Amino acid sequence: LPLYTDLTKFNADELARQFNVVAKHSIEKAAAAYHDAFVTVSDITANECKFLLGREPDCITPNGFENDFVWTGEEYDAKRAEARKTMISVAEACLGEKFAEEPLIVGTSGRYEFRNKGIDVFIESLKKLAASPRLKRQVLAYITVPAANRGPRADLQAHLADPSKPIDGGQYKYTTHYLEYQSSDPIVNALNGSILTTPDSKVKVIFVPTYLNKADGIFGKDYYELLVGMDMTVFPSYYEPWGYTPLESVAFSVPTITTTLAGFGLWAAKQREHAGVEIVLRDDYNDQEVEEKIAESLLHFSLLDDKHVNEMRVSAYEISETALWEHLFAACEQAYSEAVESSVIRTNRAVLDEGGNRNEQINFVRQQLFAEKPNWNRMMVDKTLPKRLHALEELSRNLWWCWNPGTRDLFESIDHALWAECERNPIAFLDKMSVERMKELEQDTNFLSQLDAVYAQFRDYMNEKPDPKATSISYFSMEYGLHSSLKIYSGGLGILAGDYLKEASDKNVPMAAVGLLYRYGYFTQRLSSQGAQEATYEAQNFYKLPISPVRDEAGNWMTVTIAFPGRTLWARVWKCQVGRTDLYLLDADFEANLEEDRQITHHLYGGDWENRLKQEILLGIGGIRALRKLGIKHDVFHCNEGHAAFIGIERIRDLVTHKKLSFSEALYVIRSSSLLYAHTPFYPDVLGITWEQYINLGKTNPNDPNEKFSMSVLACNLSQEVNGVSWLHGEVSKDILGSMWPGYFKNELHIGYVTNGVHFPTWIATSMRRLYARYFADGFEGHTYDIPAWQKVHQIPDEELWNERMYLKNKLVKHIRRRYSDPNQVRLDSPRQMIQIIEGIKPDVLTIGFARRFATYKRAYLLFTNLDRLSAIVNNKERPVQFIFAGKAHPNDKPGQDLIKRIVEVAAMPQFVGKILFLQNYDMELARRMVQGVDVWLNTPTRPLEASGTSGEKCVMNGVLQFSVLDGWWVEGYKEGAGWMLPMERTFADQGYQDELDAEMIYNTIEEQIVPKYYDRGSDGIPHQWVDSVKKCVADIASNFTTNRMLGDYEERFYNKLAARKREIVEGGYKLAREIAAWKRKVSAAWDKVRVIDVQRVRIDDEAIFVGEKYHFEVTVDIANLRPEDIGVEMVIAQQIVGGGKVNVTRTIGLKHTKTDGSRVTYALDYVPGEAGTFDVALRLYPYNPHLPHRMDFALVKWA
């Protein structure tokens, strides 16, 4: 929009609607209308207020400043000389040439707003100046505006430190730092191809794309220390409400050029004498005149003698003195006086007659209106533990404490009630601990002995060094469930990631993890008495969490930056110590970012799709940059889901930029060390590819305009290995992702699996762990669990194991009763209902639990299909059953929330009160209590949508029996007599019919199998058959589903293989990567010309095929300009394909190269069938290279 010409015609309200800033505009408009005094900083903004806000300001209050930062005398002269020397030497190093004489140094600075700040007209004016035949003096122009960059140029740093070291001629010579997006940078594009880049130009430009804060890596000075050395500055703004940069310039006696569209320019024009400030007339359409005027002014200045230059410098300084607050504050005082007077009129306050003169009356009213308030000063009081207790502080800062019962017991022993009140957060707990209690602990020898023992165990644990030959891992996840006090998780994906880090620590696997630090995390759930879910978000106090800022060598908080359109996103780096594993968390919620960007790390999975994309960019790109800054270099990069797929893009960009690899070469390098953990079924010009090619990386059908970009597909394309999280999920993943490799069939795909596990020390009840330790401690100690040792659980006496199970159930029942006794935790219709529930829940009743994310595919509604049948089950007088539900539905998942509401409604029915409960705000702490305390864990997902389902794995290790659909991990885990199952196969295609059948099977299994086994007691009151099932469950199931086994599987199946592959690929300066990429390009270019000329095969219609007989197959191929060894030909044998159904390949047999005739190559096979049956046979051509890890790495296929 031409802002100034049409200002009087704008409909501000309509424009606010168009630009979606109605709320902000209406607030500003109301504030302008109703304030007692309305002021603004300049004439230019006063005019805007008049037409956009509908009120003219009462007065102008120009921005003043204090000049206490300006040097004087000899110090000023020394600073100026040093600045000039530095700027000239840096420019000469960049340009690779010396100035014949001391140049005229001109500069501009400010935010990177190319048009608003007038950078565009400044560069154009320099072009005109360079073209002027009247220019006799060399001119050095500095543009110092922060832009996205990757740090200072290494060659420039080295040369400035040692002039004998050469400048890299391949670097862009007109900038001091590596630009992040050089090809699209407006300043670079304005300079390229212009007279300013010609060798004989008298005007040279240097672009400094960083903040000048003494840490830029090139100058080592702040902005003022360079500004003082300039001869003239130019700030030709198109939009500038005030403009401190020209004011700072004249404060340092540096004449400046500004415009009539800058508030400072209009103010300076009113001053009596302003030779040190030239004000150029500017409007919406006179850019060319502005450019010519600036060029002429610079030319004129270059021709001045020293006397006139000094006069202009003196004039500049004098104007700056006029702008001191001591001269401009009077305008603020006037505005204040007018506000007070206006308030008297507005409130109709009476003033006593004969009350003195006008000023006295105003002062009297002011005293009545503005009563003095307390002068509060915030006093932050930090705890200081006595030296003898310092170990408590160290223990509280490492999450190792949360899975080690001795440490938990230590904290709880200090003050049980306070420990519970602080929700088992040791940092908050120590903050609240009284000084008196600290003094008592200092003298408590028993406590100190316990503390010393725990701390010694911790130090021994931390001091153990990892195997230097072990494969190192960088792990990325959107969420981590480590402890309920650190709210950066929502459900199973995060809990798994948290367990994985803990196991990596226990096994001493060298791993660093990256995630995001959410201000509000996932929501806190509250339910109305009718069951409506209410989501509230509670801000986390980061200083009460087990995290700490990461500092660089200079002690500054480490940050990473990512260029966003028109701005830069900043993220601070925090560290969370998870035992020996470091988790780095990125946080965008601080003042360096725009408000909209601060919200990126407000909520886990919050906001719209755009915000989710920003989170994924920050996690992937920002995460890699954080590791790079930290100096962390690992062998393998592991993505927990596709959220972090952008790690591949950033790694490619780094290799293309710094290692000078092509995109295809860099892609091959990063694939060789990337693993995608598939859980639930950026700027391409920098990468050297087109936008279309980039988008196609995230599509299964490239160039399909109707297919949406998928982060999972992107991650697959950037990873050599892909795995499911259970055997069944691996098979389902092949179905989902198989279309990415259309020439290959499901059972040929490279997609593998590692079945999820859970972290045994985190989820096992402390008392149960101690019981196990008495009988088979060797089963779960050390870096690798001894699974056969778990069979010793059968040695535990039935009574002992049963008593332990009942102890845990009693704990759960007591916890539920406490919850229902607290109105802050549960909303009920009446106190009577509360009493009914508290009395109704009983520890001696068979208890079935169901707790998880409330997505509809989890089918929590199955149990309520037949309420009469359910009532008969829960109200059986001899053998009752009670059900406990918990879980959250995503705030946008209305069907999931309706399901919760339905359960609460049923639970409130008279026949179900106290028999069916729904516990609100399901989190890690409630999960621990439930998986340890119920008798049976119910899981009823829609087949085959359960990727793994780790909640049941947490249960079985505590002796809780699982009743589940054969889906996810239970397909592998189920053992008859150690749990119950619903079949894996569907009976009905119609989901409604299937639900009805499954509900009947659930009722029947509970009534006919589960209930009788639980209530069948011996003479000693113990259900011995039930206890036998518990033992079998622990020995045969729980032992195989820990993260200890899981991490070992990852090492064996993926990590070690990827690490070896990466070493092979990067060896010799990426020799193999370059060779394979070149080979792929060659094959890809020729592939469309490769064609099958002739095929000889068995005439199945004419002759019978017999086992043991020989049959000849032959394929002649025109291989274009490829070599015969570049092509593979094979016979594909599949089981008989019925009605276009799925293909099950049973065998492939390669054909051998037998003859070459120019580009015609013959491949042949004499095939001898080895078994009878009906098979389908096809002949497949594919690119062959022995160095490919698998066929899907280059999945071009033709069929003969």
Stretch 671-688: mean pLDDT: 61
Distance CA 22, CA 16 (A): 5
Is residue 272 within 8 Å of 107, Cβ to Cβ?
no
- Supply the pLDDT for residue 359: 60
State the CB neighbour count (10 A cutoff) for residue 974.
16
106-131 pLDDT, tens digit per residue, is: 999 999 999 999 999 999 999 999 99
Instruction: Compute the half-sphere exposure of residue 827: CA atoms within 13 Å on the CB side of its CA.
Output: 13
One-character DSSP codes across 28-73: HHHHHHHSSS-EESSHHHHHHIIIIIS---SEE----B--TT---H
274-313 pLDDT, tens digit per residue, is: 789 999 999 999 999 999 999 999 999 999 999 999 999 9
More confident residue, 343 or 617: 617
- Supply the pLDDT for residue 410: 96
Residue 493 CA from chain centroid, whole number? 14
Is residue 44 within 8 Å of 262, Cβ to Cβ?
yes
Query: Which secondary structure element, helix H or strand E, spans residue 1147, and what is its range?
Result: strand 1145-1150
State the CB neighbour count (10 A cutoff) for residue 1004.
11
- Supply the pLDDT for residue 371: 60
Instruction: Compute the half-sphere exposure of residue 669: CA atoms within 13 Å on the CB side of its CA.
Output: 26
Is residue 940 within 8 Å of 964, Cβ to Cβ?
yes
Using DSSP, state whether 769 is helix, strand or coil. helix
- Supply the pLDDT for residue 350: 47
Class in CATH terms, 1088-1199: mainly beta
One-character DSSP codes across 492-511: HHHHHHHHHHHHHHHTT--E
Instruction: Compute the half-sphere exposure of residue 430: CA atoms within 13 Å on the CB side of its CA.
Output: 23
- Supply the pLDDT for residue 834: 83
Stretch 1155-1178: mean pLDDT: 92
Token digits of residue 1082: 């060659």
- Supply the pLDDT for residue 711: 78
Nearest CA-CA partner of 210 in 200, 201, 195, 223 = 223
CA distances from 1155 to 1110, 1114, 1117 (A): 20, 11, 11
Query: pLDDT-based confidence at 686, cuts 50/70/90?
Result: very low
Is residue 518 within 8 Å of 598, Cβ to Cβ?
no
- Supply the pLDDT for residue 19: 78
Using DSSP, state whether 1149 is helix, strand or coil. strand
Is residue 1126 within 8 Å of 1078, Cβ to Cβ?
no
- Supply the pLDDT for residue 682: 39
Distance CA 254, CA 251 (A): 7
More confident residue, 1033 or 336: 1033
Do the domains spanning 79-304 and 1088-1199 agree at the CATH topology level? no
- Supply the pLDDT for residue 355: 47
Rounded to 5 degrees, what are φ and ψ at 587?
Answer: -135, 120
Is residue 473 within 8 Å of 638, Cβ to Cβ?
yes
- Supply the pLDDT for residue 274: 79
Nearest CA-CA partner of 949 in 1039, 1023, 877, 1041 = 1041
Say which DSSP state 207 is in.
E
User: Is residue 134 pLDDT above 80, yes or no?
Assistant: yes
User: Is residue 684 pLDDT above 60, yes or no?
Assistant: no
State the CB neighbour count (10 A cutoff) for residue 14.
10
CA distances from 406 to 390, 453, 458, 493, 769 (A): 17, 9, 10, 28, 12
- Supply the pLDDT for residue 694: 64
Class in CATH terms, 798-1041: alpha beta
- Supply the pLDDT for residue 622: 97
Instruction: Compute the half-sphere exposure of residue 914: CA atoms within 13 Å on the CB side of its CA.
Output: 18
Query: pLDDT-based confidence at 1134, cuts 50/70/90?
Result: very high
Residue with tokens 């001109």: 106
- Supply the pLDDT for residue 770: 95
- State whether the Cα torsion 496-498-502-505 is positive or negative: positive
Nearest CA-CA partner of 323 in 267, 276, 371, 378 = 267
Query: pLDDT-based confidence at 368, cuts 50/70/90?
Result: low
Sheet of strand 1160-1167, all strands in order from the earlier edge strand to the far edge: 1091-1096, 1111-1118, 1160-1167, 1152-1157
User: Is residue 1116 pLDDT above 80, yes or no?
Assistant: yes
User: Is residue 360 pLDDT above 70, yes or no?
Assistant: no
Judging by beta carbons within 10 Å of its beta carbon (0-12, 13-18, 19+), is residue 1 exposed, middle or buried? Answer: exposed
One-character DSSP codes across 451-500: HHHHHHHHHHHHHPPPPTTSPPEEEE-S---S-TTS----SHHHHHHHHH
Task: Tell me how long the chain is.
Answer: 1200
State the CB neighbour count (10 A cutoff) for residue 688.
18
3-state SS of 945-966 is CCCCCCHHHHHHCCCCEEEEEC
Stretch 246-269: mean pLDDT: 95
49-85 pLDDT, tens digit per residue, is: 999 999 999 999 999 989 999 999 999 999 999 999 9
303-307, 514-518, 629-633, 674-678: the lowest-pLDDT one: 674-678
User: Is residue 101 pLDDT above 70, yes or no?
Assistant: yes
Token digits of residue 983: 């079949």
In sequence order, the 6+-apart residues with CB closer than 8 A to the CB of 174 are: 94, 95, 188, 191, 197, 205, 206, 207
- Supply the pLDDT for residue 149: 87
Helices (H), 631-690: 646-658, 663-671, 684-687
Residue with tokens 């119950």: 980
- Supply the pLDDT for residue 681: 41
The residue type at 1163: Y
Stretch 637-648: mean pLDDT: 89
Judging by beta carbons within 10 Å of its beta carbon (0-12, 13-18, 19+), is residue 387 exposed, middle or buried? Answer: exposed
Residue 34 CA from chain centroid, whole number? 43
Distance CA 206, CA 1158 (A): 58
- Supply the pLDDT for residue 685: 42
Nearest CA-CA partner of 845 in 821, 868, 878 = 878
How do the domains of the chain map onto residue ranges? 79-304, 387-463, 473-753, 798-1041, 1088-1199
Stretch 396-409: mean pLDDT: 95
- The neighbouring-strand residues paired with 204 are 140
Distance CA 435, CA 580 (A): 32
Q: Which residues of 1010-1031 are buried (b: 16+ CB within 10 A; e: fewer)?
A: bbebbbeeeeeebbebbbbbbb
Token digits of residue 804: 């332990």
User: Is residue 593 pLDDT above 90, yes or no?
Assistant: yes
Query: pLDDT-based confidence at 973, cuts 50/70/90?
Result: very high
Token digits of residue 152: 């200072």
* 311-315 long-range contacts, CB within 8 A, separation 24+: 311/275, 312/255, 312/275, 312/276, 313/253, 313/254, 313/255, 313/276, 314/253, 314/276, 315/255, 315/273, 315/274, 315/275, 315/276, 315/277
CATH topology for 473-753 is: Rossmann fold (3.40.50)
Query: pLDDT-based confidence at 1087, cuts 50/70/90?
Result: very high
The residue type at 620: G
Nearest CA-CA partner of 960 in 975, 942, 979, 973 = 979
Distance CA 578, CA 216 (A): 34
- Supply the pLDDT for residue 88: 97
Distance CA 1030, CA 803 (A): 13
CA distances from 1028 to 795, 971, 1018 (A): 11, 21, 13
More confident residue, 341 or 1124: 1124
Using DSSP, state whether 1013 is helix, strand or coil. helix
Distance CA 136, CA 406 (A): 81
- Asked if the peptide bond before residue 199 counts as cis, ω within 30 degrees of 0, the response is no
CATH superfamily of 79-304: Glycogen Phosphorylase B; (3.40.50.2000)
- Supply the pLDDT for residue 1101: 63
